[in-house]
Amino acid sequence: MTTDDPLLQIQGLEKVYPNGYKALRGIDLEVKAGEFLVIIGLSGAGKSTFIRCINRLIDPTGGTITFDGRDITRVRGRELRRVRRDIAMIFQQFNLVKRATVETNVLTGALESASTLPSLLNLWPRERREQAAHFLDLVGLPDMRRRRADALSGGQQQRVAIARALMQNPKVLLADEPVASLDPATSHSVMKYLKQLQEEQGITILANLHFLSLARQYGTRVLALKDGKRVFDGAPEEITDDKFREIYGEDAVEVEIR
């Protein structure tokens, strides 16, 4: 691999669900290291399916996914676990262990690379705890270590989820509607931390977002999906309100642009 090679190369990606529904109909995409790719589209366009194929939470039924020069379309077992360590993910609902402390939630992000025994006994190596503290600092939660996860606000919980993802030392961070459960102000604070990871840590980010305004503000590139197909791929500023209406129709505007 040279630095010009794409980090992620997707060719003809298809997903037909067992009921016969074609959620992805041949998507091509190349992502370079360090990009902040925002994926937009109306509900049902295939955004979640697409992003979940990349870390193989969903198995594609056609096409290929090449990551870091390796075909990962059908890897299993150890190789799949390695892929999932390199490609971390955060979710709309944060997916924290609610009754556990913030620190424990963050520490479990390193589980794939550590033994599970210390975690059961809550005996984490000092180095791990220091790392967790560092990442909690990075997402602006330096004093929350001992709090229970469910005592935090939604925006704080999503930032804990980001810190947990960072414990894997990922190359790519996938985010499926990371701010869809948050109010606008909190959404921006979470998006700013994601942007900082991309700009300062060089982490490549692929995020599904519901709002065009967020896509424009934080993305370095926008991919638009419609009915499982790519309908736009370009710079955020190229996707004007008019362009958006042209793709999705007048009716979509009220709901999607904010």
Ligand X SMILES: Nc1ncnc2c1ncn2[C@@H]1O[C@H](COP(=O)(O)OP(=O)(O)O)[C@@H](O)[C@H]1O
Out of 1, 12, 21, 28, which residue is the one contacting ligand X (CB under 6 A)? 21
Select the binding partner of residue 44 from ligand X, Mg ion, none (C-beta < 5 to 8 A, by kind). ligand X
What are 97's two structure tokens? 């262990």
| Nearest distance from C-beta of residue 161 to ligand X, angstroms | 18
Select the binding partner of residue 73 from ligand X, Mg ion, none (C-beta < 5 to 8 A, by kind). none
| Nearest distance from C-beta of residue 141 to ligand X, angstroms | 28
Out of 37, 45, 139, 223, which residue is the one contacting ligand X (CB under 6 A)? 45
Whether 48 and 225 have beta carbons less than 8 Å apart is answered as no
| Alpha carbons 221 and 210: distance in angstroms, whole number | 15
| Nearest distance from C-beta of residue 46 to Mg ion, angstroms | 8
As a residue count, the chain comes to 258
What are 168's two structure tokens? 């894997």
Give the total of residues touching ligand X (CB under 6 A): 12
Whether 33 and 3 have beta carbons less than 8 Å apart is answered as yes
| Nearest distance from C-beta of residue 110 to ligand X, angstroms | 29
| Residue 49 makes contact with ligand X by CB under 6 A | yes
Give the nearer residue to ligand X in terms of CB position, either 103 or 177.
Answer: 177
| Residue 48 makes contact with Mg ion by CB under 5 A | yes
Options 16-24, 60-68, 102-110, 245-253: segment touching ligand X (CB under 6 A) = 16-24
Give the nearer residue to Mg ion in terms of CB position, either 51 or 132.
Answer: 51
| Nearest distance from C-beta of residue 146 to ligand X, angstroms | 36
Dump the DSSP string for 17-78.
-TTS-EEEEEEEEEE-TT-EEEEE--TTSSHHHHHHHHTTSS--SEEEEEETTEE-TT--HH
| Alpha carbons 124 and 112: distance in angstroms, whole number | 14
| Nearest distance from C-beta of residue 51 to ligand X, angstroms | 8
Q: What share of the chain is helix, strand, coil (3-state, %, to 5)?
A: 40, 25, 35
Out of 47, 128, 159, 210, which residue is the one contacting ligand X (CB under 6 A)? 47
Give the nearer residue to Mg ion in terms of CB position, either 40 or 96.
Answer: 40
| Alpha carbons 62 and 113: distance in angstroms, whole number | 31
| Alpha carbons 219 and 204: distance in angstroms, whole number | 11
Catalog residues that contact Mg ion under the rule CB under 5 A.
47-48
Catalog residues that contact ligand X under the rule CB under 6 A.
17, 19, 21, 23, 41, 43-49
